[in-house]
Chains A and B, each alone.
Chain A
Amino acid sequence: MTDLEHPSLAPPVSSVGIVGWMRQNLFSTPLNAGLTLLAVGLIYFLLVPLFEWAVWNADWRGSDQSDCTSGGACWVFIRARLDLFIYGFFPTSEYWRVDVVFALLAVLIVPQFFDRFPRKGWIGLFTLIGFPIIVYFLMMGGSFGLEPVETGKWGGLILTLVLAFVGIVAALPIGIVLALGRRSTMPVIRTICICFIELWRGVPLISVLFMASVMLPLFLPEGVNFDKLLRALIGIVLFQSAYMAEVIRGGLQAIPKGQYEAARALGLGYWKSMSLIILPQALKLVIPGVVNTFIALFKDTTLVLIIGLLDILASVQSAIVDPAWRNVSTEGYLFAAFSFWVFCFSISRYSQALERKLQTGYSR
């Protein structure tokens, strides 16, 4: 071994600390430096005025238009009309019933975010089946000494949530049955499922809602009439279940043939092999697609405004045109958009957590 003296090199450019990080990631070449400066400029010119308008110069306190004087956002409007946005035209004395629904939903959802919560499965099942029944009796009234509230008075956030929740809870099982039916070896069942799916996928949701609200009563005999909200719900559920079926069918097709064969070779019948072997794997594969459909459904509920149901967006709109308030449409729409975003983003985050949890480390 020889003892060669190494020539001493210049010390390496710092790659640690804030300056080092910036040098590596933001200013590594002249082009990158230019782009960084451009981005910073854009952020400055866009976000600073937005921040000034929405927070710095905004009016937060007060009760009517005269309190909005500073020229920024008039959040007083949202505060003043919040009851309308949340409860719709529900009688003020009965607001507590809606509050109970919100509270119950929150209490039931919390366990789902913990890995090991006692009886988590049963709570989940209750949320899907028992909870809607409780909500039905609580909101409709007319029994247990509760004052009846007709569905025409439901509105705002609670109406949006009812539409979305029922749509999601009912469309998934119907979608599963349709997807299995479409892959059935029995020609009659397969044909029925294909016709159903293609029919509902081929029409826009607006026309479905319109049919349900305007056309259907014309075909019903005189005197027979059922609730407008119920008709809209059935329309939404059938429409969304057709989409759901196709998403789930994709998952069923991705399961290797060997899984079906192994289940059958062990003596499991059709329903047992589907529910124990095939569907758990297929549904896990299609979580992204199913959640996509859920989120689309959540936002599509706004279309009920066309048949005169006031969901959260429609109630915001009705408040904007109120002559008591001027120039509040930006605030109103931002509030509506933010409400939707909170729910859709929560659904998305939950589904990602679920996907991670169900990962069992297999490659196929």
Chain B
Amino acid sequence: MSEAIEESSSAGDGLMIEMVDVHKWYGDFHVLRNINLAVEKGERIVICGPSGSGKSTLIRCINRLEEHQRGRISISGVELTDDLKNIERIRREVGMVFQHFNLFPHLTVLENLALAPIWVRKTPRAEAEEIAMNYLERVRIPEQAGKYPGQLSGGQQQRVAIARSLCMNPQIMLFDEPTSALDPEMIKEVLDVMVELAHDGMTMLCVTHEMGFAKTVANRVIFMDEGQIIEENEPEEFFTRPQHDRTKLFLSQILEH
């Protein structure tokens, strides 16, 4: 992984995400409890924690793939409510990368990338395809443009998925365990793309267990357990001097080997 990224323009640039006292239940199960989180423009946040701790649910609430039942979430000042117009407006500005890529298997790589700009942003087809080729070059697979997703390796598919989100020119990128479904030798090619993105100043929220990535890229690491944010700190502090017992246990379990 590349060298640590120098501290980008510090706070005050504008609040991108604000979550205040957010709660969510699945039936009786209380998945998110009292989540308070503020993300500035250009911040890179890594969320970790044991499985079932609500990490994925938390970032899926940000683009309303999941609904929260209490509290307030605003994205660039727009509050997420039942208003469908607002939801679609926010989704245009928030890109998401999934654990299982979720590329559209019936479309070629280029069509996957150009689809949203054409149909959501109303970009003319030729221009959308040009944008798509640009991003394919950035993720270093322009030669795969005419293939179908099923013909690519996992790492290539995930890079296509990242490029697909970037084609909408989002202000925020959400990553939901982007490397968990990959074979080990493919993890690096995906992380490299994400590191580059961080260098360019993208606001990123990343659920991951890649602690190396967290150390080099994140400004803040958030540890969650049982639906709550237990601990929140700069990566250096977080890894060397964790405060809570639960955090210490978790770190010892994933860093021991």
A265→B63 contact, CB < 8 A = yes
Is A353 part of the binding interface, using a Cβ–Cβ cutoff of 8 Å? no
Name 21 A/B residue pairs within 8 A (Cβ), A-sorted: A256-B102, A258-B102, A259-B104, A261-B98, A261-B102, A264-B65, A265-B63, A265-B65, A266-B120, A266-B168, A267-B120, A272-B120, A276-B115, A276-B119, A280-B106, A358-B106, A360-B105, A360-B148, A360-B150, A361-B150, A362-B151
Contacts of A261 in B (CB 8 A): 65, 98, 102
Residues A258 and B91 in contact, CB atoms below 8 Å apart? no
What 1/0 flags go to B89-113 for Cβ under 8 Å of A?
0011011101010111110000000
Question: Do residues A266 and B98 form an inter-chain contact, with CB atoms below 8 A?
Answer: no
Are the C-beta atoms of B102 and A259 separated by less than 8 Å? yes
A256 to B115 Cα, complex, angstroms: 19
- Interface residues of chain A, those whose CB is within 8 Å of chain B, are 256, 258-259, 261-269, 272, 276-277, 280-281, 284, 358, 360-364
Tell me, in angstroms, the Cα distance from A262 to B161 when the chains sit together.
10
In angstroms, how far is the closest chain A Cβ from the Cβ of B174? 8
Contact partner of A364 (CB less than 8 A), chosen from B96, B105, B119, B164, is: B105
Known contacts A261-B102, A264-B65, A361-B151; 6 additional CB pairs below 8 A are A263-B104, A265-B96, A267-B168, A269-B84, A281-B106, A361-B148
Q: Given A272-B119, A360-B148, A362-B150, A266 and B91 touching (CB < 8 A)?
A: yes
Query: How many Å lie between the Cα of A137 and that of B166 in the bound state?
Result: 52
Contact of A262 among B104, B119, B150 (CB under 8 A): B104
Q: Nearest chain-B residue to A266 (Cβ)?
A: B116
Asked if B127 CB lies within 8 Å of chain A CBs, one says no
Q: In the complex, A264 Cα to B92 Cα: how many Å?
A: 9
Is B21 engaged at the interface, CB distance under 8 Å to the other chain?
Answer: no
- Give the CA-CA distance A92 to B163 in the complex, in Å: 66
* Closest residue on chain B to residue A269 by CB atoms: B88
**Shortest Cβ distance from residue A262 to the other chain B in the assembled complex, whole angstroms:** 4
Q: Does B227 contact A (CB under 8 A)?
A: no
Top 8 closest pairs, chain A to chain B, by CB? A362-B150, A262-B102, A258-B102, A362-B105, A267-B92, A266-B116, A267-B91, A265-B96
CB 8 Å contact bits of B63-83 with A (1 = contact, 0 = none): 101000000000000000000
- Contact A267–B88 (Cβ < 8 Å): yes
Scoring B residues 132 to 176 as 1 if CB is less than 8 Å from chain A, else 0, what string do you get? 000000000000000011110000000000001100100000000
B151 to chain A, nearest CB (A): 6
